[in-house]
Amino acid sequence: MLPARPASGADGGGVPNARSPEPGSAPPAVAARSLLGTAWLRIRRSKIALAALAVVVLMILFAALAPVLTAIEGQDPYTTRTSPDVLDDYGTPGLPLSYYRYPSFDHWLGVEPGLGRDIFARMAHGAQVSLVIALLATVVSVVLGTVLGAAAGYFGGKVDMVISRVMDLFLAFPHLLLVLSLTPILQSRLGDTALGEGSLLPIASLVIILGFFGWAYLARVVRGQVLSIREQEFVEAARAYGASHRSIILKQIVPNVMGVVLVYATMMIPTNITAEAALSFLGVGVKDPTPSWGQMLNAAQAGNWYLTDPWFLAVPAGALVITVLAFNLLGDAVRDALDPKSSRG
């Protein structure tokens, strides 16, 4: 199972979750302390993992503060500027004039070709959209995967058979294709006409679809873990004093698979960020005018603007790659810390 928790403060303190509690204050939850504490101890030792964690935290802050930052900049993601003193009218119609194309005091990252909307504002609000979709979809997959995997492993028999076959079915489906073709269908069901500024519809549909198709692999892993946990003494003890199935699963089983769940959740986030970007890039996920990084990539490719000036590609591509890389590196560190079976090269 999980490696034993190192003694708190073993390497000189500075571990927020593992410090001994202040006198008189309630002790922190033990499960949370051991799990996150172990991960933190591992991350602390590697400069790369620390940097990745910093980037992830900064990016989440950036996304959360998007409205504030754009207010400071004095712009918003939706106002179009198509007058000839912003966008070229002669040589390359629609190309922003050089003052508007590159970073300036008014437009921190310039404005878009064609519509003249502020790129920084779209990038920041797009970060919010991309991250919210990825995180919520991960939550949906993790809840489904943990509950169904735990139920399959704990109850066994017919329940296990049904859930396992459903897992096989989900794993055999071509994900991207199905997500690609079901997203427009779901959006039309939810009311496609409501696609306006700040519409929540594309976000909701992507969360549902990505979340719903992402749980099967985690469920299989959780099921495997639960098969061994349910035979252990503390589960037997719980059963002996008459705990209900529900209480055993939630209080005895689930806390013991949280390590593996945390590992897979961390790795699911970058996958979902990439999936959102891919779908929006293909024009079936987040659609104009709502910004997301994938939608911005789509806009850069449309009309070959990225060939006219690579700057239009650099902003969304850079944000996307840096974020996905940071989450991936963090995921590797969390896996190395919490999953003893992984190789620690």
State both tokens at 250: 């939630």
The reply to whether 310 sits near another protein by the rule CB under 8 A is: yes
**Out of 188, 228, 232, 247, which residue is the one contacting another protein (CB under 8 A)?**
188
Alpha-carbon distance of 252 to 48, in angstroms, equals 35
Contacting residues for 255 by C-beta, under 8 A, at least 6 apart: 31
Closest alpha carbon to 201 in 209, 118, 119: 209
**Out of 54, 71, 176, 302, which residue is the one contacting another protein (CB under 8 A)?**
176
Q: Is 274 exposed, middle or buried (0-12, 13-18, 19+ CB in 10 A)?
A: buried
String of b and e for 239-258 (b: at least 16 CB within 10 Å)?
eeeebeeeebbeebbbebbb
The reply to whether 227 sits near another protein by the rule CB under 8 A is: no
Q: Is 294 exposed, middle or buried (0-12, 13-18, 19+ CB in 10 A)?
A: buried
**Out of 53, 324, 334, 338, which residue is the one contacting another protein (CB under 8 A)?**
324
Q: How many residues does the chain have?
A: 345
The reply to whether 197 sits near another protein by the rule CB under 8 A is: no
Smallest distance, another protein to C-beta of residue 276, A: 10
- DSSP output for 176-211: HHHHHHHHHHHHHHHHGGG--TT-SHHHHHHHHHHH
Smallest distance, another protein to C-beta of residue 191, A: 10
The reply to whether 181 sits near another protein by the rule CB under 8 A is: yes
Smallest distance, another protein to C-beta of residue 13, A: 30
Closest alpha carbon to 227 in 262, 264, 257: 257
The reply to whether 206 sits near another protein by the rule CB under 8 A is: no
Q: Which residues pair with 118 in a beta bridge?
A: 111
Q: Which residue in this structure is represented by tokens 């897992």?
A: 167
The reply to whether 240 sits near another protein by the rule CB under 8 A is: no
The reply to whether 189 sits near another protein by the rule CB under 8 A is: yes
Q: For another protein, which is the closer residue by CB, 255 or 283?
A: 283
The reply to whether 340 sits near another protein by the rule CB under 8 A is: no
Please list every residue from 268 through 297 that binds another protein, using CB under 8 A.
270, 274, 277-278, 281-284, 294, 297
**Out of 184, 224, 255, 289, which residue is the one contacting another protein (CB under 8 A)?**
184
Three state DSSP letters for 287-304: CCCCCCHHHHHHHHHHHH
Q: For another protein, which is the closer residue by CB, 154 or 306?
A: 306
Q: For another protein, which is the closer residue by CB, 15 or 179?
A: 179
**Out of 17, 80, 199, 301, which residue is the one contacting another protein (CB under 8 A)?**
301
**Out of 106, 168, 197, 236, which residue is the one contacting another protein (CB under 8 A)?**
168
* Residues contributing to the site for another protein (CB under 8 A): 168-169, 172-174, 176-178, 180-186, 188-189, 270, 274, 277-278, 281-284, 294, 297, 300-301, 306-307, 310, 313, 317, 320-321, 324-325, 328-329, 332, 342-343, 345
